[in-house]
Chains A and B, each alone.
Chain A
Amino acid sequence: MKEKSGCIKRAGFNSRYKRFVLILAFLVLAAVSVMIGADKNVNPGSLLRLDAAAWQTFWVSRVPRTAAIVLTASGLSVSGLIMQSLSSNKFMSPSTSGTTDAAMLGVLLSFLLLGDQSRFVQLLFAFVFALASTMLFMAILGRIPLREAVYVPLVGMMYGGIIKALANAVAYRTNALQTLSKIGLGTFNRFTSFAMLWLVLIPLALAVLYAARFSIAGMGEDFSKSLGLHYKRTVFLGLCVIAVISAATFVTVGPIAFVGLIIPNMVTAFYGDDVKKTIPDVMLLGTVFVMVCDIFSRLIIYPYEIAVSFTIGIIGGAIFLVILFRRVRYGK
């Protein structure tokens, strides 16, 4: 008995310790992130000297970029977490279920139908397409019961591939391939504002507020009903949260793969599937991961940089494979 309670305390201490490490890593990386850039004038020394030009660059270019990373990374990670909880499938995520591809198709169509529109119009198109496509995909999954959860991302990627091919065909027909390739690159170095990203705060707040409901919904429709939770409404709300985040991040940053898939997997492997408990760590770990990838992308060919989606694709892909093999080997 005594030993057991000691164990439990240590486990509690351990998880708090892990979160502390994550917060520390986040702070260090955030500091590094705002200090990197082509303008060498921005450094701790000049900032301390209250150099006006340095502070100008700092506020206008460095801070927004780092904020964009935090919002994108935590948004995508939380989308993945909610999606995995609602579908009880560890392989669901915006990038493995066609959501991101549908957002891309939406943005392309807004270009073709309305010309170069404001970001907000693009965002609306991306949102509608992402939501519709995710609902369709969930409906398809409900219809064809797959024997192994592992098939879900494969079917999802095929589904996403079809949407992408559709987008390509449309772009080819309308001579818009160049537009498409510009849309389809994920990077934090667009010379445009990240203002639209602040929109991500709304679905993020909703996700935190409704975390307990998403957990209960993950236990199934009957279970939810016996606790008085409107299952369908909760699932729809979750899908809306996912679609807003996917659309807003796609329109501003571009497609970022794997984050929504691997981050929730890594966190829930330690803490279990209770959304309320894992949501802070999912946001933190997602941010830390994307920051590392972003810093790497900016340093490797300094003073130039490569698109962060490349780095994330390579590192994230490797982590995804590890997760895939572990899940296949140990079941579930």
Chain B
Amino acid sequence: MIELKQVSQAYGTQDILKNVSLKIKEKRITALVGANGAGKTTLLNVAANLIPAKSGQVLLDGRDICQMETIEIARKIAILKQTQHLSMRITVQELVAFGRYPHSKGRLKSADETKIREAIAYMDLENIKEKFIDELSGGQRQRAYIAMILAQDTRYVFLDEPLNNLDIKYSVEMMTILQKLVQELDKTVIIVLHDINFAAAFADEIVAMKGGEIIREGPAESIIDGETLKDVFDHEFHIIRVGERKVCVYFQPQPDREIKRSKDCFI
């Protein structure tokens, strides 16, 4: 159980999170959406105790997260940061092995090796596991980091824009893997997504943030709605139904006029 109770956070005089309260639904995929600078990353970092909250409380299984040992937290929450800077030349396999640290403290047992192998297979990295991460494409590297998170094998998985750099095939595969993690392994996933359509298609719950506050939360179905999304993103959305699904169209609000204007440009 992860619960945020009136959490506030500020950098200098600027309020980044304003009295945010949130109960994360167990065994669900929760998508965190909102404009750039809305405070999504800050919320994840506070919830994972990477940065302490200025006020308020984060409860992990009923205990104040600030009172817990970091290694205990790392056995329960794995977090993929939005940006990774590479300071070391290590292979994919070595990176994935880092994910076992909270459990093995650096001495890998055969159970750890199995988890590492599984994570590598899950993310389809077997062919490149001996390669150095600085020699990979952006998407391959992203998959390697996600494999590390999987190897960490925690009940809660926080992902900050994991689809960065992934092509369409791997983005869909990634989300399918997350669904499997939730359905088969009872994990709880919180994921920051920028493409609202991915949230609509794969998330169970959506939490929408704006200016450091949660302005809407609820089942995905209820958030995917023209008015709500306009409120969250300050941008026009057109919702179309494709079969059972809702799809958001957020570009070229009036197709014919746009086309005409681009023609004018040519002449």
In the complex, what residues of B have CB within 8 A of residue A268's CB?
Answer: 89
* Per-position binary interface string of chain A over residues 9-47, scored 1 when its CB falls under 8 Å from any chain B CB and 0 otherwise: 001100000000000000000000000000000000000
**Which of A216, A230, A274 sits near B91, CB closer than 8 Å?**
A274
**Which of A12, A88, A223, A272 sits near B94, CB closer than 8 Å?**
A272
In the complex, what residues of B have CB within 8 A of residue A11's CB?
Answer: 130
In the complex, what residues of A have CB within 8 A of residue B130's CB?
Answer: 8, 11-12
**Which of B69, B84, B98 sits near A215, CB closer than 8 Å?**
B98
**Contact indicator A225/B70 (Cβ below 8 Å):** yes
Give A277 to B74 CA distance when docked, in angstroms.
24
**Which of B50, B90, B101, B106 sits near A222, CB closer than 8 Å?**
B50
**Which of B70, B85, B89, B105 sits near A272, CB closer than 8 Å?**
B89
Say which one of B32-40, B75-83, B219-227, B253-261 lies at the interface with A.
B75-83
A interface SS class? helix
Give A225 to B49 CA distance when docked, in angstroms.
9
Interface centre among A213, A223, A230 (most CB of B within 10 A): A223
In the complex, what residues of A have CB within 8 A of residue B107's CB?
Answer: 212
**Contact indicator A220/B85 (Cβ below 8 Å):** yes
- Chain B interface size band reads 20 to 34
**Contact indicator A218/B88 (Cβ below 8 Å):** yes
Give A87 to B57 CA distance when docked, in angstroms.
34
Give A220 to B90 CA distance when docked, in angstroms.
14
In the complex, what residues of B have CB within 8 A of residue A277's CB?
Answer: 94
The answer, yes or no, to whether B48 is at the interface (CB within 8 Å) is yes
Give the A-binding residues of B (Cβ under 8 A).
48, 50, 69-75, 78-79, 81, 84-85, 87-91, 94, 98-99, 101-102, 105-107, 127, 130, 132, 152
- A-B pairs, top 7 by smallest CB distance, nearest first, are A212-B106, A228-B74, A228-B71, A88-B87, A273-B88, A272-B89, A228-B102
Give the B-binding residues of A (Cβ under 8 A).
1, 4-5, 8, 11-12, 85, 88, 210-213, 215-216, 218-220, 222-223, 225-230, 268, 272-274, 276-277
